Amino acid sequence: MEKIIVRGGKRLSGTVKVEGAKNAVLPVIAASLLASEGKSVIREVPTLSDVYTIGEVLRHLNTEVEFENKTVYVDASKELNIEAPFEYVRKMRASVLVMGPLLARQGKARVALPGGCAIGSRPIDLHLKGFEAMGAKVSVGNGFIEASAEQLTGAKIYLDFPSVGATQNIMMAAVLAKGTSVIENCAKEPEIADLAAYLNKMGADVRGAGTETIIIEGVDQLYGADHTIMPDRIEAGSFMVAAAITRGDVLVEGAIADHMASVIAKLEEMNVKIIQEENGLRVIGPAKLKPVDIKTMPHPGFPTDMQSQMMALLLCAEGTSVITETVFENRFMHVEEFRRMNSDIKIEGRSVIIQGPCELQGAEVAATDLRAAAALIIAGLRAEGYTRVTELKHLDRGYLDFHKKLQMLGADVERITESSGEMKQEETNIVPDLNA
Ligand SMILES: CC(=O)N[C@H]1[C@@H](OP(=O)(O)OP(=O)(O)OC[C@H]2O[C@@H](n3ccc(=O)[nH]c3=O)[C@H](O)[C@@H]2O)O[C@H](CO)[C@@H](O)[C@@H]1O
Ligand SMILES: C=C(OP(=O)(O)O)C(=O)O
């Protein structure tokens, strides 16, 4: 079993560079299916297990995918298969993002129903309503969703909720539809603008990405394009919190302030000093953290993907804080794990009430989802004694070399493999050979 072991008490300092964003690269790789001519070159790709999974999905769809350092080459010029089986969708829900491109290009898509996950039920009804509005016939049976349309037609689509995935899937379907599509109340996350930039380089006509209305003029064909993935604002935020919790002084290279206004605002409210530097954000943790209230919201509101990391920080604040989770109905699984670290947290409906400051103690804890994994390691940086974090498969979905980056900043942290009572230091990252 793999574990990350943290011994708390070290003050972080130095520079850490963030990777390309997981949540931008997954839709971009899915969108590369739309290029019926030419190769796509996608740069600054973090070699995460999720990226490996989307690569596998594309290969299964008859696409050539090659990884070379942090660059991915995709050749989707051959006729595509139209089915994404459960083995991939189960591993990673974002596999459903191939549905829009397949429907647009092949007129048909068959994707395993994703089901719920650790943070909520996560339906995809809004994706499907969008496809139907463009003329697709959608049916669900035997654990699969099937959608087909001879030719998608542009449509006006109002999203009941600004879903990130629905916005992306509908955008990718609309770029090859006949006529104009207007997506209203769409998601405004920076990853949406990143996807639009890539689609436009491929020859699409997408306007308004990053605002609440996206207008797309369908085109006849798309071509491979060269695109560099935006920096990961959630990885950046995680290191900012790690710096703050250890009263450290860390330059988070690649962090873009415009993408992180809500996170910066809350950290500053807590007394954390944030200085904009030429190549990133410098974060200086205060001696005393002030409590704050946080409500997660779609962008530009406070990101749900930073909720558990901020919870770790608020455990150390002097007073009462309340976090309200409005995006996912079940994203407080980490609370029980924090309790094992001697924290005073109560759950009341969709809110948690934190009574700080807690004297965090090291404990054996299990990551319950991707961000919870980072949050528990971050809490361990402040806790007295040793914190052992298991279930690292969650961490590996979204953080590249997390423990190594923390080590470089001075943290006392290691990743080990424990087998039959014997421990050995883990030297390799989880993704051995992406081209194998
Ligand atoms: C790969 C990726 O980019 N993942 C991100 C993406 O997930 P994802 O795209 O799945 O998140 P959505 O924005 O779609 O989901 C937000 C909420 O809308 C609901 N919903 C969504 C679609 C739908 O058809 N019906 C529906 O009810 C979901 O159950 C959830 O409660 O955005 C989330 C919200 O910022 C982030 O936490 C995830 O990290
Ligand atoms: C919830 C997340 O990802 P996914 O949508 O891929 O589960 C996340 O990145 O925190």
What pLDDT, on the 0 to 100 scale, is given for residue 34? 98
Residue 146 has which token pair? 């099937």
Question: Averaged over 302-309, what is the pLDDT?
Answer: 98
54 pocket-lining for ligand 1 (C-beta < 6 Å): no
pLDDT beyond 90 at 430: no
What pLDDT, on the 0 to 100 scale, is given for residue 114? 87
Atom of ligand 2 nearest to the CA of 165: 5
232 pocket-lining for ligand 1 (C-beta < 6 Å): no
Residue 324 has which token pair? 């309200």
pLDDT beyond 50 at 428: no
pLDDT beyond 90 at 144: yes
Count CB neighbours of 234 within 10 A. Answer: 23
Query: Cα(10) to centroid of ligand 1, in Å?
Result: 36
pLDDT beyond 90 at 149: yes
What pLDDT, on the 0 to 100 scale, is given for residue 25? 98
What pLDDT, on the 0 to 100 scale, is given for residue 432? 41
| Residues 175, 176, 182, 184, Cα dihedral to 10° | -60
Sorting pLDDT into bands at 50, 70 and 90, what band is 425? low
Atom of ligand 2 nearest to the CA of 94: 6
Ligand nearest to the CA of 350: 1
**pLDDT tens-digit series, residues 211-238:** 999 999 999 999 999 999 999 999 999 9
For the chain, give the percent of residues with pLDDT over 90: 93
Residue 209 has which token pair? 């990405």
**pLDDT tens-digit series, residues 394-404:** 999 999 999 99
Query: Cα(352) to centroid of ligand 2, in Å?
Result: 21
Distance of CA 194 to the CA centre of its chain: 14
Mutate to test the pocket of ligand 2, among 19, 23, 331, 395 (most ligand atoms within 8 A of CB): 23
296 pocket-lining for ligand 1 (C-beta < 6 Å): no
**pLDDT tens-digit series, residues 363-391:** 999 999 999 999 999 999 999 999 999 99
pLDDT beyond 50 at 274: yes
Distances 207 to 165, 180, 217, 400 between C-alpha atoms, Å: 18, 11, 9, 32
Sorting pLDDT into bands at 50, 70 and 90, what band is 117? confident
Name the residues annotated as catalytic: 117
Question: Averaged over 183-193, what is the pLDDT?
Answer: 98
Query: Cα(228) to centroid of ligand 2, in Å?
Result: 21
pTM of the model: 0.96
- Parallel, antiparallel, or unpaired: how do β-strands 280-284 and 351-355 relate? unpaired
Interface ipTM: 0.99
Query: Cα(163) to centroid of ligand 1, in Å?
Result: 5
* Upper half-sphere CA count for residue 197 (Cβ side, 13 Å): 14
Atom of ligand 1 nearest to the CA of 168: 9
Domains with residue ranges and CATH for the chain:
2-19+231-425 (3.65.10.10), 22-228 (3.65.10.10)
Q: How far apart are the first and last CA of the chain?
A: 24
Question: Averaged over 280-308, what is the pLDDT?
Answer: 98
